[in-house]
Amino acid sequence: MTVNDDSGRSQNIQLPTFIENVRFFFNYQVRHMYFRYFMWNFAGRQNDIQGHGEIHKGNWISGIPFLDNMMYGDQDNLPDTYKENPARNKYYLLPLLLGVLGLAFQSGSNVKGKRDFWVVMLLFFFTGLAIVLYLNQTPLQPRERDYAFAGSFYAFAIWIGLGMLPLISGLKRLMSGMPATIIASGAALLLVPGIMAKENWDDHDRSHRSIARDIAFNYLNTIGENGIIFTNGDNDTFPLWYAQEVEGIRTDVRVTNLSYLQTDWYIDQMKRKAYESDPLPISMDHDQYVLGKRDVVYVLDRIEGDVDLKEAIRFLASDNERTKKIPQYRGRIEHLPSTSFRIPADSAKIMEKGIVSEKYAHLVRPEMLIDLNKERILKNEVMVLDLLAHNDWERPIYYAVTVGSENYVGLENYFQLEGFGYQIVPVRSESEDGQYGRVDTEKMYDNVMNTFIFDGWNDPRVYLDENHQRMGINMRNNLSRLATALIEEGDHERAVEVLDKTMEVLPADRIPHNYFSMFIAEAYYQAGDAEKGDEMALGLADENFQELNFFTNLKPSLRNNSMSDIQRSMAIYAEVLRVLRNNNRDEVISEVEARYEGLFQRLGFFEN
């Protein structure tokens, strides 16, 4: 079958058969996206790491060793970071069994009881499997969707309560009088709600956790006076709004959510003053971006060379029919007449406004060149380009570090990392290995060492779920970029200060090591602190060894399903050795290779 992709290009796809569709429905939509969540609540949960079918992430467990080992391999061999995950909750199937007992009791009772049973069953079905049918969820969901089925879990909880009745009845046959009721109630409370409270308390305790507020503070204080920051998701927008609206933090900053910037009502809001923040300098009037107008704008290479962005926006905003006619197209086509645009840069104004630090004044270019490399852009991207064209370097403009690259509209080579945001500056820096732009070491060092708040990350009382840990890893990566930039400028002393601060506030026992940990290790080596570099390298090698050891001890069928994880662990091993060899750490290399040798023999890998 031939279809058009998002860019308009045709491609051939093979449609699944009926049997394949049925298999997908039961294996993924029912088992993975519903039954797994159901068992989280009534059997036990492996951890809070989102899983896409991996045997060590996000599955349900029972807490009964032979059952869990049969499904997921020997759980005693799990890496420490997984075994010690606060969301590893074991209920030993007790809530499930009590609920099944209540279901059986209600369904087998008198006529009225049977009617009540079907009421609960319909509630259970329509808030569970019926939603599965309705949602028709696609693979690789961006987050766990257990919240969608909470109603069915409530319905099953009714059966858990009813399960008490046959328990009491059974005990009364063995004992007479009130003691049977008291014993049954006490035992059930202890074994079901009691064990669930014990297991769930640590991963549901939110006391002492102010990380969302602190991150909002850090985002806002990255921004220059009267600045603008583009955000995209919930996690990088709502905390900032809270900080401004409730605590009055940096109300001169305009937080602009790119997802909402596709709507006319939100653009209207952005064009009004808010607290101390001036309106966004968007030139188009409401009638020019109202719903249905310029929702999609085509990018056509009709003019050779670069076009002044302000002129291009004026062309796009015009309602003159001559600007909408394209010889090879029918009807009106809202379009930009080029794929390449320029924004003039007044170096004197830029230095006066402090957009670029004095030490980088010689790097400022007379203009920024933007290559869109897209066939079409959406309304929010049009608004960003309009804003850039008419800002005239009056206000600093930033992208939050969490905004995806698909929203950059060709600006990534003009990014300057200053903390939790990339400022757009007329200094070109090619992006490499997914690291965008350059680092302003003066601004970012001052922010990190004197302004930002990192409380809670290293507090053992604070629960860090997967989202917090992912954010912590991103922060560690950006702080390592600051250290590397300082090293390149010859400032080894301050580089070590930044690295030490990084591992003090984001320690490995709170934010586990990952591939990016070697960036910190390499920075330590380059800054002349080999001992701390060795500590980082060995820490990552140890955690990686534990993962590989778990995979190598799996039975062949489970191991074959884990090959992508094994390959990732092998890539980390290779990166550890590469960094160690580049820094002549021969003794550490020997220690790492000796430890891994047995694993490679079991996996069939042999070192030369």
Structure tokens that stand for 462 in this block: 């604070």
Question: Between the CA of residue 412 and those of 310, 401, 424, 443, 457, what are the distances in Å?
Answer: 20, 11, 8, 19, 29
Q: In the structure encoding, which two tokens stand for residue 138, read together?
A: 């696609």
pLDDT value at residue 605: 55
Task: Say what the pLDDT of residue 155 is.
Answer: 97
Q: What is the pLDDT of residue 322?
A: 80
- pLDDT at 178 (0 to 100): 66
What is the end-to-end Cα distance of the chain in Å, rounded?
Answer: 48
Here the tokens at position 587 are 């003794």
**Sorting pLDDT into bands at 50, 70 and 90, what band is 174?**
confident
How far, in Å, CA of 421 to CA of 256, rounded? 13
The rounded mean pLDDT for the chain is: 92
32 Cβ partners below 8 Å, 6+ apart? 53
Least confident of 172-176, 241-245, 248-252, 288-292: 172-176
- φ/ψ of 474, rounded to 5, equals -60, -40
Closest CA to 575 of 496, 522, 497: 522
342: CB partners within 8 A, 6+ apart: 306, 307, 308, 309, 367, 368, 369, 370
Give the pLDDT band (50/70/90) at residue 305.
Answer: confident
Nearest to 422 by CA among 412, 432, 407, 430: 412
Beta bridge partners of 318: none
- Are 293 and 267 contacting, i.e. CB atoms less than 8 angstroms apart? no
User: Any idea which residue has 């060995």 for tokens?
Assistant: 538
pLDDT of residue 365: 94
Question: Has this prediction a pTM greater than 0.85?
Answer: yes
Task: Determine the pLDDT at residue 116.
Answer: 94
Best CA proximity match to 81, nearest among 374, 507, 555: 507
Can you give the pLDDT at residue 2?
74
pLDDT one-digit tens code per residue, 512-533 = 999 989 999 999 999 999 999 9
Distance separating alpha carbons of residues 253 and 220, to the nearest angstrom:
7
pLDDT of residue 454: 95
Q: Residue 607 pLDDT more than 70?
A: no
Q: How far apart are CA 532 and CA 545, in angstroms?
A: 20
pLDDT, tens digit, for every residue of 73-128?
A: 999 999 999 999 999 999 999 999 999 999 999 998 888 889 999 999 999 999 99
Distance CA 372, CA 341 (A): 8
pLDDT band at 434 (very low <50, low <70, confident <90, very high): confident
Residue 332 is predicted with a pLDDT of 82
Residue 214, helix vs strand vs coil = helix
Q: Encode pLDDT of 436-457 as tens digits.
A: 999 999 999 999 999 999 999 9
Tell me the C-alpha distance between 46 and 37, whole Å. 11
State what percent of residues in the chain have pLDDT above 90: 80
Residue 493 has pLDDT above 80, yes or no: yes
* Confidence at residue 543, expressed as pLDDT on a 0 to 100 scale: 96
Give the pairing of strands 10-12 and 397-400: unpaired
More confident residue, 600 or 18: 18
One DSSP character per residue, 252-309 reads TSEEEETTGGGSHHHHHHHTS-BTTBPPP-----HHHHSTTSSSEEEE---SSS-EEH
- Tokens for 265, please give them: 């009502």
pLDDT of residue 303: 86
409 DSSP 8-state letter: T
Average pLDDT over residues 405-411: 93
- Asked if pLDDT for residue 142 goes beyond 60, the answer is yes
Lay out the sheet containing 228-231: strands in order across: 254-257, 228-231, 397-400, 421-424, 415-417, 438-439
Tens of pLDDT, residues 340-363: 999 999 999 999 999 999 999 999
Residue partners of 47: CB distance under 8 A and separation at least 6: 56, 57, 58, 82, 85, 87, 88
Report percent pLDDT > 70 for the chain. 98
Range in 226-235, 270-279, 326-335 with the lowest mean pLDDT = 326-335
CA pair distance 314, 336, nearest whole angstrom: 10
User: Token digits for 18?
Assistant: 């009926």
The pLDDT score that the predictor gives to residue 5 is: 65
**Per-residue confidence at 327, pLDDT binned at 50, 70, 90?**
confident
pLDDT at 8: 58
